[in-house]
Amino acid sequence: VRCVTSASGTIPLCQGTIAVDVFFDANENGTRDPGESGLTGWDVALDGGAAMNTGASGLVTFANVASDTAHPLSVVAPTAAGT
């Protein structure tokens, strides 16, 4: 988390990074274990903003996110071609 002082000099503004790991949880334990692969082509959106697409690793990173509030997250699987 990185904090800077507001323009008025009184309120600290803190920002951090949120990393999202989308993967196939083969043993359904909620943890990415060795051999469990990332899922490609999934849309991940933070705070209802524009979605970022997962690459081969299944990872998406959101930088410079305010650290003093909750952030709704949505994850959407890719649709099959022709559906």
Each residue's pLDDT tens digit, 23-65: 999 999 999 999 999 999 999 999 989 899 999 999 999 988 8
Reported confidence tier of residue 10, pLDDT bands at 50, 70, 90: low
**How many whole angstroms from its chain centre is CA 38?**
13
CB 42, CB 77: distance < 8 Å:
yes
**How many whole angstroms from its chain centre is CA 72?**
10
Reported confidence tier of residue 14, pLDDT bands at 50, 70, 90: confident
pTM attached to this predicted model: 0.74
Q: Which tokens in the block code for residue 12?
A: 């600290």
